[in-house]
């Protein structure tokens, strides 16, 4: 750890760590490692604003002042001076208020049940997999309708419920829609979302709701129902490199003939972000599957879904 090159590379992560966040957990290390002096170190695991997590020292007057859920802001701190004179700084986190912010009495939601979430770039086969799942496991899973503001299109299956932008905004405000996203597009602003009542209705039938997601929908669902409720599957196109994956997607999008070339270009741009997201938010995925052989993917999915159904 005292190796200068490790220290040097750790610097590149610093920008990422310079964000406000909340304390997930904390401890006071009574016997600090060599070079950190003899005073106890307060260390926290911080959930940063962008959804990633970081480990860092906490700047707080006393252990008793710190609370899980307290807000913190980043500050550079000299952590130690090595024998060879190298001065090592890193991001530390300071409590936002001298006294811990009054913690919202957010009662941990009871575990409401499982939701199967499919995630993957456009064209990877989410809808196909979803449709097949609801057919093969008709007694166990049911598709959650997507509420959208976009116009009905040829080739749309019955997976969509159409609404107006005004109505969508109202439902969101009333917290009827618990996950929403806006897919950027050149031609129009299009909203997509899931309603709580639709998901609850499926649970009431004793079935597992299945949803098609992208970044925001997945994060919204995860924070609304709790990460434990989400059984998430990331679908990747086959291909050894990112370029190979993208060209595979392009091929699939063109051959299904549902979109115009302009739309396809938009979708490809989003697909790149979607692939990035796999890397950045690994912890949001329970399983990552490569959709090369649809039968194999279905078998795996069936196994996992029936697995939770049994519990």
Partner 1 sequence: MNKDIFLIGSGQTRFGEWWEKSLRDLAGEAVEAALKDAPCTSLDIDMVIVANMIAERTNGQAHLGALVSSLFPHNPPALRVESACASGAVALHTACGLLESGRAQTIVVVGVEKMTDVSTEEVADALMGAADSEKDAPCGLTFPGIFGLIAKRYMHEYHLTRERLNHVSSAHHRNALHNPFAQFRKEIPAEHISQSPAVADPLCMLDCSPVSDGAAACILSTVKESDIKIAASQLASDAVSLTERATITSFPATKRAMEKALAEADIDRKSVSHLEIHDCFSIAAVINVEDLGFAEPGKGVELYEQADPVPSINASGGLKACGHPVAATGIKQVTDMAKQLRTSGSRFGLTQNFGGACASCGIHILEHTHV
In the sheet that holds 287-290, the strands lie side by side as 141-143, 208-213, 115-119, 230-236, 287-290
Residues that bind partner 1 (rule: CB under 8 A) add up to a total of 42
Nearest to 242 by CA among 286, 297, 279: 279
The DSSP 8-state label assigned to residue 229 in this structure reads G
Q: Is position 13 an interface residue for partner 1 (rule: CB under 8 A)?
A: yes
Contact pick of 4, 20, 33, 184 for partner 1 (by CB under 8 A): 33
Q: Is 40 exposed, middle or buried (0-12, 13-18, 19+ CB in 10 A)?
A: middle
CB of 270 to partner 1, least distance (A): 24
CB of 195 to partner 1, least distance (A): 25
- In a 13 Å sphere around the CA of 236, the CA atoms on its Cβ side amount to 18
Q: Distances in Å between the alpha carbon of 304 and those of 35, 233, 264, 298, 307? A: 47, 10, 32, 10, 5
Whole-angstrom Cα distance, residue 173 to residue 280?
29
Q: Is 1 exposed, middle or buried (0-12, 13-18, 19+ CB in 10 A)?
A: exposed
Closest to partner 1 by CB, 64 or 139 = 64
CB of 34 to partner 1, least distance (A): 5
Q: Is position 183 an interface residue for partner 1 (rule: CB under 8 A)?
A: no
Q: What is the contact mask toward partner 1 in residues 254 to 283, using x (rule: CB under 8 A)?
A: ----------------------------xx
Q: Is position 231 an interface residue for partner 1 (rule: CB under 8 A)?
A: no
The residue range among 35-43, 131-139, 192-200, 251-259 that interacts with partner 1, by the rule CB under 8 A, is 35-43
Q: What is the contact mask toward partner 1 in residues 103 to 132, using x (rule: CB under 8 A)?
A: -----x------------------------
Binding site for partner 1 (CB under 8 A): 1, 6-7, 9-10, 13, 24-34, 36, 41, 43-45, 52-57, 63, 68, 79-80, 88, 90, 92, 108, 227-228, 282-284, 307
């Amino acid at each position: 750890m005292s190796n200068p090159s490790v220290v040097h590379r750790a610097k590149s992560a610093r920008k990422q760590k310079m964000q406000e966040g909340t304390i997930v957990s904390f401890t006071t290390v009574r016997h600090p490692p060599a070079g950190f002096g003899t005073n106890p170190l307060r260390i926290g695991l911080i959930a940063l604003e962008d959804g990633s997590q970081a480990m860092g020292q906490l700047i707080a007057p006393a252990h008793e002042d710190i609370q899980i859920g307290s807000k913190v802001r980043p500050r550079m701190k000299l952590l130690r001076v090595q024998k060879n004179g190298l001065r090592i700084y890193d991001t530390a986190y300071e409590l936002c208020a001298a006294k811990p912010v009054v913690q919202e009495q957010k009662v941990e939601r009871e575990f409401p049940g499982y939701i199967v979430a499919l995630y993957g770039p456009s064209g990877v086969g989410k809808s196909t997999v979803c449709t097949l799942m609801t057919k093969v496991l008709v007694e166990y899973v049911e598709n959650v309708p997507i509420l959208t503001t976009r116009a009905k299109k040829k080739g749309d299956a019955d997976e969509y419920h159409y609404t107006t932008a005004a109505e969508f905004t109202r439902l969101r405000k009333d917290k009827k829609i618990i996950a929403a996203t806006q897919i950027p597009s050149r031609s129009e602003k299009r909203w997509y979302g899931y309603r709580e009542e639709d998901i609850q209705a499926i649970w009431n039938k004793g079935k597992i709701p299945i949803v098609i997601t992208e970044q925001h929908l997945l994060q919204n669902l995860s924070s609304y129902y709790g990460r434990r409720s989400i059984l998430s599957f990331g679908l990747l196109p086959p291909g050894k490199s990112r370029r190979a994956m993208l060209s595979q997607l392009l091929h699939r999008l063109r051959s299904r003939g549902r979109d115009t070339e302009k739309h396809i270009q938009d979708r490809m741009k989003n697909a790149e972000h979607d692939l990035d997201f796999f890397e950045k938010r690994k912890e949001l995925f329970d399983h990552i599957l490569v959709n090369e052989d649809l039968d194999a993917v279905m078998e795996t999915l069936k196994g996992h879904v029936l697995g939770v159904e049994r519990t």
